[in-house]
Amino acid sequence: MYVARAGLTPDRLAQAGAELADEIGFEKVTASALARHFGVQVASLYSHVRNTHDLKVRIGTLALAEMAGNAATALAGRSGRDALAALGNVYRDYARAHPGRYAAAQIRFTPEEAATTAGPRLSEMTRAVLRGYDLNDEDQVHAVRLLGSIFHGFVSLEQGGSFDHSTPASEQSWIRILDSLDATLRTWPCQ
Amino acid sequence: MYVARAGLTPDRLAQAGAELADEIGFEKVTASALARHFGVQVASLYSHVRNTHDLKVRIGTLALAEMAGNAATALAGRSGRDALAALGNVYRDYARAHPGRYAAAQIRFTPEEAATTAGPRLSEMTRAVLRGYDLNDEDQVHAVRLLGSIFHGFVSLEQGGSFDHSTPASEQSWIRILDSLDATLRTWPCQ
DNA sequence: ACGTTTGCCTAAACCCTTTAGGCAAAGGAA
DNA sequence: TTCCTTTGCCTAAAGGGTTTAGGCAAACGT
């Protein structure tokens, strides 16, 4: 016995799941919680998503797409250290504004899932930053991996509170790290 | 109706949980799975750990202690780039050999939990590496955070398969990244 | 041998996931 | 409009995982 249709769709579930993730934590986003949010029975969700893993993949995909979009905007008209900082801040700001979504973006995708996400677009943004530095093709791969490691590592540790119990504030370290990364990329071919 | 006591203790549960985590994944380590492993009823575990979060914290603590121990061994008699690579390889090798334990070490500890873990000991190992470079106190904090970010970020992305779909092998990037990190630390004060 | 402590048990309540099958609303065609 | 099809959400039920309460018997100190 119900009043009206809730209008569920896979995208709407992913969107609501993303919002819920930011509020209560990605690992607490369950089919039950989402069903409560829409005021429907849990089983109803299964007409729109295959299972909870499917739901989580959709949330992660949404997050990656948002990050790639933010990156495209942030990188427009920037190059060099400016672009480097802009991309780093996309990661960091996104993780701070949307911790649940950021966590969702870190789930392990299968190869076919990964191909359909905006992950490749985000890699492309990283390569765009590196165009401001003089790297050959192989070094560019290493540099993409270096940037990904630092951005993800820093954001992940900062998010986990690892930097909370020492001074100065992590902001200071972030600036210094961007500086040193810029220096590294400028002198990379010298190795 | 049972035959003999299983000899459960908090430490034994954490140890078995750690092994289970490496076999089936940390997120699949449940009280149920652990009880099955020991051939006891699920409720029996609750005499030894408060709840599943307590169990996970114990597994994470065990992992951090093992990593800190490995680091102490690896750093003995090394300095400079040699020590840097040794510490990085402790992270990387541990994550590869014990993915479940490594995941357990990443859970968010409360401040009082964090104080009792080997996390501080691992930070101390990082500072030991930095003694081979000429950094003032504040720069040392930034450098500790940089090392933590890179090591954790690289290992985490490599573990997640992010480097699987491009060449060359991640091993090459790892070496280049250690090299550039060494160069960064050697010239850090020049900024 | 005896009392106390300790370890594991059964039972039960609660929540989350997933599948199967059903009814009624929405939407298209005559 | 009426009829038919599709679609959306429902109920029901089975299967796990978590956690608490209370009980019995083994282990242990004396």
Q: What is the pLDDT of residue A176?
A: 96
Separation of alpha carbons A152 and A102, rounded Å:
10
CB contact under 8 A, B191 and A168: no
Distance of CA B105 to CAs B33, B56, B67, B95, Å?
20, 9, 9, 10
Distances (CA, A) of B176 to A30, A191, B45, B127: 41, 9, 47, 22
Mean pLDDT confidence for B184-188 = 92
According to CATH, the topology of domain B62-190 is Tetracycline Repressor; domain 2 (1.10.357)
What is the least distance, in Å, from the CA of A164 to any CA of chain B?
A: 9
Query: Which residue of chain A comes nearest to B108, CA vs CA?
Result: A160
Strand D contacted by B41 CB (< 7 A)? no
The answer to whether B150 CB sits below 7 Å from nucleic acid chain C is: no
Name the nearest CA neighbour of B16 among B1, B3, B29: B29
- Chain B CB within 8 Å of residue A52 CB: no
Residue B158: Cβ-neighbour burial (10 angstroms; 0-12, 13-18, 19+): buried
Indicate if the alpha-carbon torsion angle A166, A172, A176, A177 is positive or negative.
Answer: positive
Q: What is the mean pLDDT of residues B82-93?
A: 98
CB-hemisphere CA count at 13 Å for A180? Answer: 27
Q: What is the pLDDT along chain A (191 residues), one digit of tens a residue?
A: 445 677 889 999 999 999 999 999 999 999 999 999 999 999 999 999 999 999 999 999 999 999 999 999 999 999 999 999 999 999 999 999 999 999 999 999 998 888 889 999 999 999 999 999 999 999 999 999 999 999 999 999 999 989 988 889 999 999 999 999 999 999 986 55
